[in-house]
């Protein structure tokens, strides 16, 4: 592992005040083992490069169709035939209307550190740093672990956002290299978890328990409940999640829990990828309900954000 270790990202966001302390640079990794029905970044799921087709930007020039050697762009509509498209990216590179967008690019740790170092003064003044999310960082663990460790060696605070799915011996190094860990708990019942995400939660809960031991030293461990109406917003699930986190607090670690209310800001992205949005017309939970569940969590958990 070193500066030339490569990974595939699909976005970076500078000057963020979310997902960690202070002002941060967010790095979004491509690829995820889960398929959450409410995923707001569907372009993160596939580990390969993809083409987004933003119809509202199209001016009908037909350049994409002319350039495509595989004839994957349909005449008249300029839709992408996903079965024919090889994701070469030529249409996106030449589309000056930004209707065809390439999502995903390979980068090295060296390249990312150049980007990160430009904002060191903002991290220092605000107590911020770098947060790696996705997608799922654990799917590109060699790149992520190297980048996190390089940041820490440079005295830059690090954080990751994770679903926690992975073999412990393989992903432990990523957890150890992060100062702050945001860990999703989507559903406590494994069958429900599988229905909502495509995988069971046994491995996730085991890793959460192991992480609690790491949090006893120099780490902040923040568990998150993505509260999605009609999916995991039952009183029973929230109570069980609170009880689980409470049992981990007994280890004496810096552990907290927060609720992330559902939003549909990623809905358009499904159309751009020629997919159907799994939860159409779903309303976000009310502020009253979120506060009610926070009060419920406070009965068990010491630190509710």
Residue 248: Cβ-neighbour burial (10 angstroms; 0-12, 13-18, 19+) = buried
Report mean pLDDT in 10-residue bins for the chain, 305 residues.
Answer: 91 92 96 96 95 94 92 93 93 93 95 96 95 96 97 96 95 94 97 97 95 76 95 95 89 83 93 94 92 92 85
* pLDDT the model gives residue 1: 64
Let me know the angle formed at the C-alpha of 234 by 230 and 237, rounded to the nearest 5 degrees.
Answer: 125
CATH class of 6-46+104-298: alpha beta
Top-tier CATH class for 50-103:
alpha beta
* Residue 300 confidence (pLDDT): 85
**Domain map (residue ranges) of the chain:** 6-46+104-298, 50-103
Question: How far is 90 from 100, CA to CA, in rounded Å?
Answer: 9
Three-class SS state of 53: strand
Q: How far apart are alpha carbons 17 and 129 in whole angstroms?
A: 10
So what's the pLDDT on residue 98? 94
**How much is the pLDDT for 212?**
86
CB 147 within 8 A of CB 132: yes
């Amino acid at each position: 592992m070193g500066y030339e270790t490569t990974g595939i990202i699909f976005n970076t966001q500078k000057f963020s005040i979310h997902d960690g302390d202070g002002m941060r640079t967010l790095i979004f990794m491509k690829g995820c083992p889960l398929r959450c029905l409410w995923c707001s970044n569907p372009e993160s799921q596939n580990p390969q490069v993809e083409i987004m087709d933003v119809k509202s930007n199209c001016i009908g020039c037909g350049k994409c169709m002319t350039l495509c050697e595989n004839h994957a762009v349909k005449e008249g509509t300029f839709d992408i035939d996903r079965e024919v498209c090889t994701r070469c990216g030529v249409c996106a590179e030449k589309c000056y209307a930004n209707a065809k967008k390439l999502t995903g690019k390979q980068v090295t740790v060296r390249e990312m550190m150049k980007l990160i170092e430009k904002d060191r003064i903002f991290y220092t003044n605000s107590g911020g740093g770098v947060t790696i999310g996705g997608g799922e960082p654990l799917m590109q663990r060699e790149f992520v672990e190297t980048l996190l460790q390089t940041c820490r060696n440079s005295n830059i605070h690090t954080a990751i956002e994770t679903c926690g799915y992975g073999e412990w011996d393989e992903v432990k190094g990523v957890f150890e290299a992060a100062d702050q860990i945001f860990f999703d708990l989507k559903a406590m019942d494994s069958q429900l978890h599988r229905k909502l995400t495509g995988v069971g939660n046994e491995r996730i809960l085991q890793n959460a328990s192991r992480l609690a031991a790491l949090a006893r030293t120099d780490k902040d461990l923040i568990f998150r409940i993505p509260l999605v109406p009609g999916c995991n917003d039952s009183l029973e699930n929230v109570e069980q999640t609170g009880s689980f986190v409470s049992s981990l607090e007994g280890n004496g670690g810096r552990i907290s829990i927060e609720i992330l209310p559902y939003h549909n800001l990623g809905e358009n992205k499904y159309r751009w990828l020629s997919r159907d949005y799994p939860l159409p017309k779903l309303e976000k939970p009310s502020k009253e309900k979120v506060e009610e569940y926070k009060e419920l969590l406070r009965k068990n958990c010491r630190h509710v954000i």
